[in-house]
Amino acid sequence: MKCPFLREARVKYCQASAFRKMIVESACDAVHERCSTPAYLQCPAARSRIAERPAAGRCPFLQDATVEYCGGSPVTKFVPANDGLSSCCNSDAHLYCELFLSAADPRRERRPAAAGVTKPAGGGRLIVVVDGIPVPAHLAYAPNHMWLDVAEDGRCHVGVDAFLTSVVGALDAIGFVKPALGAGRPVAVLKVNGVDLTMAFPQELEDVVPNGYLRTHPGKVTADPYGAGWLFEGVEPALRGAPVGSSARAGLLAGESAARWMFAESNRLSDFAHELVGQASADGTRLMADGGKVEPGLALELGRDALINLFNEFFAPHLTWRRPW
């Protein structure tokens, strides 16, 4: 699916000029412009090089080309159109483009208003809200709360889910471990409340590229975990005869199974928090665990040891599925 803001145009430019300036072609301009008539001989740039080319009814240095540009960008930048080149604008990957998200923000339109409600989204997608946590049905989820989206062409995006972002509340910074050549597991380091926490996606991807924008804007991860806050882009390793997405989604949960798991994780987080506050303090006093749900930003209220225990319980790279259903 192409980006709705992707535009195509025919442009012309001067090959003799020191600077290439592309001008959108217009039939009405062709009659009046100097480059398309014998008057081009009056042009200093052409006259200085005309000995290299035979004279003609139009300037031999006038070139034209088909280009693409983003209609959602405040600054128009022409890029030569080439069907042989992969571009996020020509695939579902445009759903993670910052320009597309800021101009269209489709997730804002399809976010359900009430917990437990599902609504059809653009492109037929659904989002289920489980205990206040949005769970997009088109994504697949790993046991350490990382998600995967696989496009029809095998291009993948990886991020962290809204359960994790609700728990951490805010990120101090985010870094990426340089991926190995060929296939490898995408790895990110989230700094939460001064503690570095390593997130590793369980499946291998090829040509992994991190979302470098997050290095200077880590808040995007918590503000839009399923959109502009994505962590990695990559390609699913090719398996002969296997359907697209089968290897990358192996061992992950999606749809109703993911929703049930998220509900169980929410309850498990409540149990973890109640056990934590119920521990005796240094003077022997205890707080009463009287029920209730965990407020967002739990990680910001924890000391280093408790935060590491929380991470190891819910988000560590080595986690395997807990199946209470």
Amino acid at 86: S
Q: Which residues contact 285 (CB under 8 A, 6 or more apart)?
A: none
**For residues 289 and 68, what is the distance between their CA atoms, to the nearest angstrom?**
60
Q: How many CB atoms lie within 10 A of CB 45?
A: 15
How far is it, in rounded angstroms, from Cα 233 to Cα 92? 12
Domains identified in the chain and CATH numbers: 6-88 (no CATH), 110-258 (2.40.50.100)
Close Cβ partners of 292 (under 8 Å, ≥ 6 residues apart): 270
Neighbours of 96 (CB within 10 A): 21
Instruction: Look at the block and give the residue holding tokens 């499946």.
Output: 203
Does the pTM surpass 0.85? The reply is: no
Q: Which residues pair with 66 in a beta bridge?
A: 10
Per-residue pLDDT tens, the chain, 325 aa: give them: 677 777 888 888 888 787 778 888 775 555 667 787 777 777 887 777 776 666 677 788 888 888 887 777 777 788 777 654 456 777 677 777 777 776 665 444 334 333 454 554 444 468 889 989 999 999 999 999 999 999 888 889 999 999 999 999 999 999 999 776 777 899 999 999 999 999 999 999 999 999 999 999 999 999 999 999 999 999 988 776 678 888 889 999 999 999 999 999 999 999 998 888 766 455 555 445 556 678 899 999 999 999 999 999 999 988 887 765 5
| 255-287 b/e (C-beta count within 10 Å ≥ 16 → b) | eeebbbbbbebbeebbebbbebeeeeeeeeeee
Question: Do residues 247 and 140 lie in contact, with contact meaning Cβ atoms separated by under 8 Å?
Answer: no
What is the rounded distance in angstroms from the CA atom of residue 189 to the CA atom of residue 317? 11
Per DSSP (E only), the strands in the chain are 6-14, 23-24, 62-70, 79-80, 118-120, 126-130, 133-136, 140-141, 146-150, 155-160, 173-176, 183-184, 187-192, 195-200, 205-210, 232-235, 253-254
